[in-house]
Structure 1
Amino acid sequence: MHRFKELEIWKRSRIFCSNVYDLTSKFPQSETFGLTNQLRRASVSLPSNIAEGSSRSSNKEFSRFLEITLGSAYEIETQLLIAFDLNFIEETEMDDLLKELQEIIKMVSKFKTTLKQA
């Protein structure tokens, strides 16, 4: 079992989630149950799946939760691009979040690889 609160990927995912909440608070009211909700749910999924996976008894099970985390990350990437297409966010806002998201994806992928080797 891993201590998720000590994992850098969990810490960065949690901060990323807060940044998504800040960003989506500026979306149009009409998007409350649309893109705002989708982005928030997917961003909450990042640290949540890392935490849940860390409680599992095997690295194989933890690895499965990291796969789900990666799926949520790519979902977020798509949703940020759509938000940009709809002029809900500026290009710089999108670029900043996508850059951080790519770093999280790399970290999760690398960590997943180390679990398979253990």
Structure 2
Amino acid sequence: MKFKFEDLIILQKGMNLGEEMNALAYKFPKEELYNLSSQLRRASDSIALNISEGSILQSGPEYRKFLGYSIRSLAEVVTCLHKAKRRNYLSEENFDIFYKNCFDLMNMTIAFRNKIKY
């Protein structure tokens, strides 16, 4: 037995991204613990959390709203990645990998949101 949302590819990718960002954030310097590290972890976790929370709603517009929250959180993660790269906490190569994952998930989430009826 499982919930319908557990089979969503965007949820699985969001969960994976959250774990990757969590691991990355713990590599940042200790002075970032309550700043960039925390922000990155919260934003990346919010992606999957909003996908699953929105999926239990009966209304299309409400579900679209929660997917919008996920998209905004993804944009926040991308900004955190840029900050991390500028502060030399992240190599260009790793930045490119994470950036592509975010880009792909963003496009998938937008496409999924666009298919939900009002």
Q: What TM-score range do you get, normalising by the shorter chain? A: over 0.9
2:93 aligned residue: 92
Question: What does residue range 1-118 of structure 1 map to in structure 2 within 5 Å?
Answer: 3-116=4-117
Query: 2 CA distance for matches of 1:110 and 1:61?
Result: 16
Segments of 4+ in structure 1 off by > 3 A? none
Percent pairwise identity: 32
Letter in 1 for 2:100: K
Letter in 2 for 1:85: R
Specify the SS of the correspondent of 1:87: coil
Deviations 1:3-22 (A, max 9, x none): 11010000010001100011
TM-score by length of 1: 0.95
TM-score by length of 2: 0.95
Aligned length: 116
- How far is the alpha carbon of 1:41 from its aligned partner? 0.1
Cα RMSD of the aligned pairs, angstroms, is 1.2
Query: 2 CA distance for matches of 1:61 and 1:45?
Result: 16
Unaligned runs of 5+ in 1: none
Query: 2 CA distance for matches of 1:25 and 1:19?
Result: 10
